[in-house]
Amino acid sequence: MAKADNPKPQFKLWVYRLAQVVLYSFYRICFRFRAFGTENYPKDSRGVILAPNHASYLDPPILGISLKKPVTFLAKDYLFKPFVFGRVLRWLGCIPIKSESEDFRSMRQLFRALKEGKSILIFPEGTRTETGEMREPEPGVGFLAVRSQAYVWPLYIKGSFKAFPKGVKRFKYTSVSAHFGKPFIPALDAELMAKENPYQAVSQRIMEEIKKIKEEVN
């Protein structure tokens, strides 16, 4: 059982690449998907926190199909309970998180992934918007960014709310695109670190960067 849940890295990468191909084809056909600014990916070995707005269930796969380098995703722990689906999530490198409590084990896994130079997806808002407008950010992404000293790479996902908003059962065939901004390292920003609550200040800065990208795109 343990061996099946932890296959060789080559097999996990193969599963990830297969999922990329399938999902990219789906997004191109249904949403005419395109990604812009991916050339801004940091060139050094420091970990990267991918920080987009969150408007739809369509959002997480967008990061996976936009970047060549595998992305580490978070997934609610109950999604791992179905045997087959849970195993696939593990093969894809997903990290389970608890829904209702502080999950220190998951946090340790996130820090470990960033220390290893991996890219992880964190939604600063914490959950999907119900109105299409961006929510206030949670301090968690700021805490992770400061303590890990990782890059934060803000991006704006356009069109996913129109395509598949919260509470709707069927998606619409409309354009969806991802617009990547410029990565920065919050822990090296002396002005942010001098704030009374640096974690919240970093989270706010991230949301400001996402909104700037939105303004440029629109």
pLDDT (tens digit per residue) in 137-161: 999 999 999 999 999 999 999 999 9
| Amino acid of residue 163 | A
Nearest to 176 by CA among 155, 192, 161, 194: 161
Residue 81 burial class via C-beta count within 10 angstroms: exposed 0-12, middle 13-18, buried 19 and up: exposed
Residue-range domain boundaries for the chain: 2-217
DSSP-based three-state secondary structure for 156: strand
Which DSSP category does 149 fall into?
A: T
Instruction: Give the class (CATH, top level) of 2-217.
Output: alpha beta
Q: In this predicted structure, what is the pLDDT of residue 107? A: 86
HSE-CB at 9 with a 13 A cutoff on CA atoms is: 1
Which DSSP category does 175 fall into?
A: -
- Name 52's bridge partners: 155
The separation between CA 134 and the C-alpha centre of its own chain, rounded to angstroms, equals: 16
Length of the chain: 218
In the sheet where 151-158 sits, what is the strand order? 34-36, 177-180, 151-158, 48-52, 119-121, 71-72
Q: Within 10 Å of residue 106's Cβ, how many Cβ atoms? A: 15
Write out the chain's pLDDT in tens, 218 residues. 445 556 678 888 999 999 999 999 999 999 999 999 999 999 999 999 999 999 999 999 999 999 999 999 988 888 888 888 888 888 888 888 876 555 677 889 999 999 999 999 999 999 999 999 999 999 999 999 999 999 999 999 999 999 999 999 999 999 999 999 999 999 999 999 999 999 999 999 999 999 999 999 98
CA dihedral for 193, 199, 205, 209, sign (positive or negative): positive
